[in-house]
């Protein structure tokens, strides 16, 4: 073992060296390739969203209603794909490209609901449905609140 072999080094240093050594021999996904895949996946999802938006507007919806249709349909499709065990394949291929759009959020909620269904409606689905999405909701609200406070201060300053 390293810490015995090099008695003059401290235990912490040896731990650090070991972590460095392991990381140096561990293969990782190619970052540029992953970025291209994420761009393609995320781009396709967003382009599809745009298609829904434009279609809704051409058939007479106003911008806000069309936006709602876009979100709803993307969520619906994502949830159905999760149920068919297909969204995990999109996520595996696309990485952040599948994670960041609204479809990724819907996937994290639906996947948890399916997984914890066996533990009951309340303690299973009820308690655990936001296991993955929970942090997004919490910190989403927190950051909105902070921005709200900043906005409020700016308004006060302008008034004065």
98 binds other proteins (CB under 8 A): yes
- Measured from the CB atom, the residue of 135 and 148 that comes closer to other proteins is 135
Burial class (CB in 10 A: 0-12, 13-18, 19+), 28: exposed
Q: Are 29 and 23 in contact (CB under 8 A)?
A: no
* Interacting residues with other proteins between 111 and 150 (CB under 8 A): 111-112, 114-116, 118, 131-132
29 binds other proteins (CB under 8 A): yes
- Total binding residues toward other proteins, as defined by CB under 8 A: 42
Could you say which DSSP state residue 118 is in?
G
16 binds other proteins (CB under 8 A): yes
- Determine the Cα–Cα distance for residues 91 and 107; give it in Å rounded to an integer: 9
Q: Are 104 and 91 in contact (CB under 8 A)?
A: yes
Among residues 97, 40, 42, 101, the alpha carbon closest in space to that of 70 is found at: 101
- Determine the Cα–Cα distance for residues 137 and 65; give it in Å rounded to an integer: 23
2 binds other proteins (CB under 8 A): yes
- Measured from the CB atom, the residue of 37 and 66 that comes closer to other proteins is 37
- Determine the Cα–Cα distance for residues 70 and 48; give it in Å rounded to an integer: 9
- Measured from the CB atom, the residue of 23 and 58 that comes closer to other proteins is 23
Which span (43-51, 53-61, 67-75, 92-100) binds other proteins, by CB under 8 A? Answer: 92-100
- Determine the Cα–Cα distance for residues 54 and 52; give it in Å rounded to an integer: 6
- Measured from the CB atom, the residue of 52 and 113 that comes closer to other proteins is 113
102 binds other proteins (CB under 8 A): no
Q: Using CB under 8 A as the criterion, which residues of the chain lie in contact with other proteins when the complex forms?
A: 1-2, 5, 12, 14-16, 18-19, 21-22, 25-29, 34, 82-83, 85, 87-92, 94-95, 98-99, 104, 107-108, 110-112, 114-116, 118, 131-132
């Amino acid at each position: 073992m390293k810490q015995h072999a090099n008695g003059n080094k401290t235990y912490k240093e040896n731990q650090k060296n070991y972590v460095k050594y392991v990381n140096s021999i561990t293969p990782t996904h190619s970052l540029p390739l992953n970025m291209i895949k994420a761009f393609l996946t995320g781009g396709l999802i967003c382009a599809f969203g745009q298609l829904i938006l434009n279609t809704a507007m051409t058939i007479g919806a106003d911008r806000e209603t069309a936006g709602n249709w876009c979100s709803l349909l993307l969520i619906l499709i994502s949830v159905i794909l999760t149920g068919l065990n297909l969204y995990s394949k999109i996520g595996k291929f696309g990485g952040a490209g599948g994670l960041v759009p609204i479809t990724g959020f819907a996937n994290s909620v639906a996947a948890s609901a399916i997984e914890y269904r066996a533990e009951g409606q309340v303690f299973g689905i009820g308690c655990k449905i936001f296991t993955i999405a929970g942090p997004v909701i919490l910190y989403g609200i927190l950051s909105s609140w902070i921005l709200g406070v900043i906005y409020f201060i700016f308004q006060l300053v302008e008034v004065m």
